[in-house]
Amino acid sequence: MSNPNTQNKDEKTASTSSNLIPVFIMGKRYDVPESLTIMKAMEYAGYKYIRGCGCRGGICGACATVYRKPGDYHIRVGLACQTVVEPDMYLTQIPFFPANRAAYDIKPIDKDPEEVFKKYPELFRCLACNACSKVCPMDIQVMDYISAIKQGEFEKATELSFDCIQCGLCASRCMAEMAQYHIAQMVRRITGSKIKPRAKHLNDVVSKIEKGKYDNIFKELKALDVNTLKKLYTEREMEPAATPEDWSPQKKDYL
């Protein structure tokens, strides 16, 4: 791996800046600084991420991790990039869990619940055990959205499942062998394309773009040298952090 001298220096820095605590990664003990996230702790322990590490920002769902604590039978979950290590946690990452996704063309599909039932008949194997909700690192009520889908309540299921990051932990725990998050995605697509009203203002903007509203400004920008571009960029008018409702930029040519 890296230069042994560098590594020693790293360890020294870490041990002086924070206390080391034991964690068990796939059953093997490592002493890691207590302030690290699980992901950083695994890297500290020598693991190198090739898969199972995406955005490092808690959004992509690639680093779902399950762990247990001594004396507690509950399965605990977290995203490795967001969850801080705790003493004696036994953990493993589950970067991927096999889950079948139905193939379909969204265009001819209408909002009839039967369309989803046909693609995912396993929906009706649900016994309402709720293991899916308990294991969701985003605290989504997975079983409730599965119930809503069975009830044909697609908008409700869309709202309930909206924060899903598709990590697949629900599918890993389902005794009905569902891939809940794929079913929810199909339902959100139907809700978005067949149930919710189309955004009229979006059509207006698109047609203005097509009519060439921005053609000239792009032409002008392309012709500029790098330094002028940089200057324009750094001096651009920013939307203030706390934006009042009636805020608008001073230059309104391209609104």
Partner 1 sequence: MDICYYPGCTLKTKAKNLNLSTISSLANLDIEAKELSRWNCCGVVPSLASDDLLRLIAPVRNLARAKEEGYSQILTVCSMCYQTLAMANQIMQEDMEKRDIINNFMEEEGDYSGEVKVVHLLGFLRDEVGWDRLKIAVKIPLVGLKVAPYYGCTLIRPRQVGIEPLESLTLFRDFITAIGGIPVDFPSSTECCSSYQVVSNPEISDEVSSGILKSAEEWGADILISSCPLCEYNLGLRKREKKELPTLYFTQILALSLGLDEGSINLELNSDSAINFFKEKFKDVLC
Contact footprint for partner 1 (CB under 8 A): 113-114, 124, 126-130, 133-134, 141, 143-144, 146-147, 150-153
The smaller minimum CB distance to partner 1, of residues 156 and 189, is found at 156
In the bound complex, what is the minimum distance in angstroms from residue 161's beta carbon to partner 1? 14
Buried b (16+ CB within 10 A) or exposed e, 74-96: eebbbbbbbbebeeebbbebbbe
In the bound complex, what is the minimum distance in angstroms from residue 77's beta carbon to partner 1? 14
In the bound complex, what is the minimum distance in angstroms from residue 180's beta carbon to partner 1? 13
The smaller minimum CB distance to partner 1, of residues 34 and 153, is found at 153
In the bound complex, what is the minimum distance in angstroms from residue 104's beta carbon to partner 1? 19
Q: Which two tokens stand for residue 60?
A: 């992509």
The smaller minimum CB distance to partner 1, of residues 143 and 184, is found at 143
Q: Please, are residues 61 and 54 in contact by the beta-carbon 8 Å criterion?
A: yes
The smaller minimum CB distance to partner 1, of residues 84 and 129, is found at 129
